[in-house]
């Protein structure tokens, strides 16, 4: 057995001794401080940090299981930091969801304003729609679109030109239909 293997086994044995002593108290600590659905995740993260920093745990000897009073305060500190990190991450996720909901509501309002454009896009093939979206919404040049779609730059340019032409024709048709003059209900009749 090499020195590295020996050190790894000793490190593993130290961690297992530590885990045997602190897992249950850390679990209770977390249950009292966070939502039930977060406890196991935070405990897992705490144990991962303890594994990484097993050499830094004060009071952890190389032999038999450590004295709980020697190691537990430091482990509580690790759990406390892991819990704070989890809460910050949860807050970031919540803010992201709120932003996405807001963006979705805005895009829904915009979709209502641009239904003719979305209809024109819908008339294109899926690949042509993607080429147009990459060009218009993401601001990519044909060379970059070619990398994304695995087409040649020339094929992208041709598809983009044809798609823009189809969209313009579709939008003109929509405008003509919307502006078609109609007859007024009382046109040509007397008001008698």
Q: How many domains does the chain have?
A: 2
Q: Please state, in angstroms and as integers, the Cα–Cα distance from residue 157 to each residue in 100, 133, 152, 154, 166, following that order.
A: 33, 13, 9, 5, 14
Give the range among 9-18, 19-28, 99-108 with minimum mean pLDDT.
99-108
DSSP 60: -
Helical residues (DSSP H) of the chain, grouped into ranges? 3-31, 36-52, 68-113, 115-122, 126-136, 142-149, 153-178
Higher per-residue confidence, 176 vs 97: 97
Nearest-angstrom CA–CA distance, 9 and 3: 10
pTM reported for the whole predicted model? 0.53
Task: Give residue 45's pLDDT.
Answer: 97
Residue 73 in this model has a pLDDT that exceeds 60: yes
Q: Are residues 93 and 76 in the same domain?
A: yes
- Summarize pLDDT for 80-134 with one digit per residue, the tens: 999 999 999 989 988 888 888 887 776 655 555 577 888 888 889 989 988 988 8
Its domain, for residue 174, covers: 114-178
3-class secondary structure, 56: helix
Give first-to-last CA distance, the chain, whole Å.
113
Query: Residue 94: which CATH number?
Result: 1.10.1740.10
What CATH number is associated with residue 140? 1.10.10.10
């Amino acid at each position: 057995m090499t020195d590295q293997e020996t050190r790894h086994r000793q490190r593993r044995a130290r961690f297992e001794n530590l885990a045997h002593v602190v897992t249950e108290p850390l679990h209770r600590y977390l249950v009292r401080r966070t939502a039930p659905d977060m406890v196991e995740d935070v405990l897992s993260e705490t144990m991962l940090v303890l594994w990484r920093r097993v050499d830094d745990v004060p009071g952890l000897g190389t032999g038999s299981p450590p004295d709980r009073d020697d190691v537990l305060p430091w482990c509580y500190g690790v759990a406390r930091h892991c819990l704070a990190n989890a809460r910050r991450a949860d807050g970031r996720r919540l803010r992201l969801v709120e932003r996405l909901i807001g963006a979705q509501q805005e895009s829904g309002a915009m979709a209502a304003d641009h239904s003719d454009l979305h209809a024109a896009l819908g008339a294109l093939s899926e690949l042509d729609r993607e080429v147009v979206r990459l060009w218009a919404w993401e601001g990519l040049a044909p060379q970059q679109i070619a990398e994304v779609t695995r087409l040649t730059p020339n094929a992208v340019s041709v598809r983009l030109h044809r798609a823009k032409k189809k969209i313009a024709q579709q939008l003109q048709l929509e405008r003509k239909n919307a502006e078609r003059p109609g007859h007024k209900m009382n046109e040509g009749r007397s008001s008698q």
